[in-house]
Amino acid sequence: MSWHKIYALCLRHIYLISNSLPRIIDLIYWPTVQILLWGFISKFFTLNSEYYSNTVGIILTAAILYDFLFRVSISYNIMFLEEIWSRNFTNLFIAPIKLSEMIASLTITAVFRSLIGLIPAALLAIPLFGVSVFKIGLPLLALLFSLYIFGVTLGLLVTAGLLRFGPSFENIAWASLFFLAPLGCIYYPVEILPLSLQIIAKGLPLVHVFEEMRNILINGTVNYFEIFISILISVAYFIFGVIIFYMAYFGARVRGTLINMGE
């Protein structure tokens, strides 16, 4: 892999963001609204629920972590869709770049794009609601890493779908995360789910991340094994996502959808 080329691909998105104030505002606006909304809900719950009374901000912390996952995945999809919308797709695929360099650039840029929105929102939660996601401590980095890898994987699967089915797959891009959210046990413990769904849910890294987040905030202990499992599952899905992406690319070459792909 060439870091110069990865940098050039990242630069395309850096220019895109830095050239447009509305885009920067858009990146910050949605996480902030999300945090405000869940902040008030969280405040209401902490005042009225025995379960949450000991640990202020569990829901808000979950909302921040979930928003990070959501932003990573959506950023990945949007950056890929930008190439289709701008009809730059063919230019990109005839440039001397490897698919791995393309994946790497989207993966790197997605995290920065997500943090632009998330950091102000997370900081805002401290004075407004007295909730700091940083209370989780160092394990927070591991939890974010797991969510990041899984968010990228969802992005990869959606972009593979775009390669396979063309721009009409765009709607799935927006729906992909909502589809998994009920099984992710973001705001509730896994025991709430019916037993059969619990088995499926435990195959997702989200359950392990959010269960561990609640464990840290409620019990004040860290189960490193649970964090390790979440990362392991995320990495396994990531490898699967990369394979699907490559298969979609080779399939698109056979079907001829790489040329003139655009709106």
Partner 1 sequence: MSIEIKNLSKKFNEVYAVKNIDFTIGANKTIGLLGPNGCGKTTSIGMMLGLIKPTTGDIIIQNKNINTFERNKLLSIMNFASPYVELPKKLSVKQNLQIYGRLYGVKDLSIRIDELAEDLNLKDFINKKTGELSSGQKNRVSLAKSLINKPEILLLDEPTASLDPDIGDYVRSYLQSYKSKNKVTILLASHNMAEVERLCDSVIMMKKGKIIDQGTSKEIINRHGRTNLEETFLKIVRSKDELA
Tell me if residue 86 falls in helix, strand or coil: coil
Least separation in angstroms between residue 13's CB and partner 1 is 10
The contacts of residue 142 (CB under 8 Å, 6+ apart) are 227, 231
Q: Which is nearer to partner 1, 85 or 188 (CB)?
A: 85
Residue appearing with tokens 């640990």: 55
Least separation in angstroms between residue 160's CB and partner 1 is 17
Q: Which is nearer to partner 1, 203 or 255 (CB)?
A: 255
- Contact set with partner 1 (CB under 8 A): 2, 4-5, 7-9, 11-12, 15-16, 19-20, 82-83, 86-91, 93-98, 250, 253-256, 258-260, 262
Least separation in angstroms between residue 247's CB and partner 1 is 13
Q: Which is nearer to partner 1, 88 or 223 (CB)?
A: 88
Least separation in angstroms between residue 119's CB and partner 1 is 24
Q: Which is nearer to partner 1, 91 or 219 (CB)?
A: 91
